[in-house]
Amino acid sequence: MLSLAWVAALALSGATLIDRDAVIVDRVPLQIERYRSALAPGQVLAAWSDSSTASVPNQRAGQWRVATRNSGAIHETLQARADGRGGSELILARLDLRSPLAAPVKLPLSLPAGGEVLRAIQFNEARARASQYLVSIPGGSARALAQLCARAADSGWRVLGAVDCARGRGSQARWFMRDDETLGIEVRAAGRRTRVVMGHVAPWP
């Protein structure tokens, strides 16, 4: 639900709702809303922050300017950046501190020894569940890819396109299918460990 203060700020900034998603980030349920505004980022953030006495002054994160505020049990974060036309792109994340944590994530395949999940994001769409995981695995990217390919095969996944899943030049990304499920894996070297971005889409049971 939108607060009355945010509705007023939206009206002042000429913001238009683009889309709304319910997501789970590291077991925390969030509401994510995307807007476009005719006003510059600084003007939108000023109007938004002025509508609350519990706001934190905005800071920069790359191209985005970020501000946070609390309204009772609701914690909100607003990100704004210029859209190149004098207006703004806005992302509003809303957390209800009273909401229980979601169930622990279940990866589509088991990780090699020493692997750990750094971030898990889950989207519940009308026809499918989509999840994205950021994973860290010990060792180099070639070794990590070989381990993941072997574990994917053990879990019933079929690699697409690559003759040999664990080898090949160019991209270190692989796509897999298992019945109606899709799995994407991309490995990137990160010092003595490998970062893995894993995307999984599965239909509702």
**Beta strands in the chain, from DSSP E residues, in sequence order:** 16-25, 28-37, 55-61, 64-71, 74-82, 88-96, 116-124, 128-138, 158-160, 173-178, 181-190, 193-203
Instruction: Report if residue 54 sits inside a domain.
Output: yes
Please, are residues 198 and 133 in contact by the beta-carbon 8 Å criterion? Answer: yes
What local confidence, expressed as pLDDT, does residue 56 receive?
Answer: 52
**Which of the four pLDDT bands, split at 50, 70 and 90, describes residue 2?**
very low
> Do residues 129 and 59 share a domain?
no
Helix (H, G, I), strand (E, B) or coil at 118: strand
Instruction: Report if residue 8 sits inside a domain.
Output: yes
Say yes or no to pLDDT of 3 above 60: no
Say yes or no to pLDDT of 170 above 60: no
> Do residues 124 and 176 share a domain?
yes
> Do residues 8 and 66 share a domain?
yes
Tell me the two tokens of residue 42: 């600084």
What local confidence, expressed as pLDDT, does residue 158 receive?
Answer: 94
Instruction: Report if residue 107 sits inside a domain.
Output: no
Please give the tally of structural domains in the chain.
2
> Do residues 64 and 132 share a domain?
no
What local confidence, expressed as pLDDT, does residue 53 receive?
Answer: 46
The conformational region for residue 53 under phi > 0 = left, psi -120 to 50 = alpha, else beta, is alpha
> Do residues 121 and 84 share a domain?
no
> What are the pLDDT digits (tens) for 94-130?
999 898 988 888 899 999 999 999 999 998 776 778 9
Say yes or no to pLDDT of 47 above 70: yes
Instruction: Report if residue 13 sits inside a domain.
Output: yes
Among 61, 96, 131, which residue terminates a domain? 96
What local confidence, expressed as pLDDT, does residue 149 receive?
Answer: 94
Please, are residues 94 and 1 in contact by the beta-carbon 8 Å criterion? Answer: no
**Domain around 89:** 4-96
Query: Per-residue pLDDT averaged across 152-178, rounded?
Result: 84
**Which of the four pLDDT bands, split at 50, 70 and 90, describes residue 199?**
very high
Tell me the two tokens of residue 18: 């683009």
> What are the pLDDT digits (tens) for 141-152?
989 999 999 999
pLDDT over 70 percentage in the chain: 83
Rounded to the nearest integer, the mean pLDDT of the chain is 83
Instruction: Report if residue 132 sits inside a domain.
Output: yes
> Do residues 87 and 127 share a domain?
no
What local confidence, expressed as pLDDT, does residue 185 receive?
Answer: 95
> Do residues 75 and 131 share a domain?
no
pTM listed for this prediction: 0.73
